[in-house]
Amino acid sequence: MKVKIKEAAKKFKCYSLYRLAIVLNIPQQTVYSWANGRTQPSYESLDKLCDVLDCSISDLLEEEPVQGKLKL
């Protein structure tokens, strides 16, 4: 699962990652780690992100391509 935090912050609130960290009251490094894919936000953090950005969870998640189709 890839989280599109940077894109969503810009699209929904015109926030930088720095501003988003301040609004969420969490360390800036945490937000940058999420944005760079080094770590994943918890479900609680995703919920908080949606509240702050006024968006849905599906707006934050990037679809990943299916590696292969099942053959029956």
- pTM for the structure as a whole: 0.80
Over the stretch 25-59, which tens digit does the pLDDT of each residue have? 999 999 999 999 999 999 999 999 999 999 999 99
Q: E strands of the chain, at which residues?
A: 2-3, 61-62
pLDDT the model gives residue 2: 77
Q: What is 2-62's CATH topology?
A: 434 Repressor (Amino-terminal Domain) (1.10.260)
For the cut 60, the answer to whether the pLDDT of residue 24 exceeds it is yes
Q: What is the mean pLDDT of residues 6-17?
A: 95
Question: Residue 19: exposed, middle, or buried by beta-carbon count in 10 A (0-12, 13-18, 19+)?
Answer: middle
For residues 60 and 58, what is the distance between their CA atoms, to the nearest angstrom? 5
